[in-house]
Amino acid sequence: MLSLAQIFSLALTNVLQVRYLGLLIIDELFKRSKLFRTIIVENLDQLLSLSVGLRRNLPFPDPPAIASVLRSKAIEFWKSGM
């Protein structure tokens, strides 16, 4: 079973494919757990910047195609209530 720290480390990695998988796990847990939603809200700024790319000083690593998929999927998740 993954710990919360391990799940966040997936979302924080510089490998975009792993970051994408971390986002999928976070989305699923967000839908199922009130406690997890509370924890996500506390770290929302960091997750948004790493999944949507809001900060210009922290650009997405390569490859650009995966960065585009990650960004669009993250926006979809955030709009749907994640």
Q: Quick: pLDDT tens for 22-58.
A: 888 888 888 898 988 888 888 787 777 777 776 666 6
* % of residues, the chain, pLDDT over 90: 1
Q: What mean pLDDT is reported for the chain?
A: 80
pTM for this predicted structure: 0.75
Domain that includes residue 24, residue range: 4-79
pLDDT at 5 over 70: yes
* Residue 25 to residue 51: CA distance in whole angstroms: 13
Q: Using the predicted structure, report yes or no on whether residue 18 has a pLDDT greater than 70.
A: yes
CB neighbours of 78 closer than 8 A, spacing ≥ 6? 48, 52
Distances (CA, A) of 81 to 20, 61, 78: 18, 26, 5
How many domains is the chain built from?
1
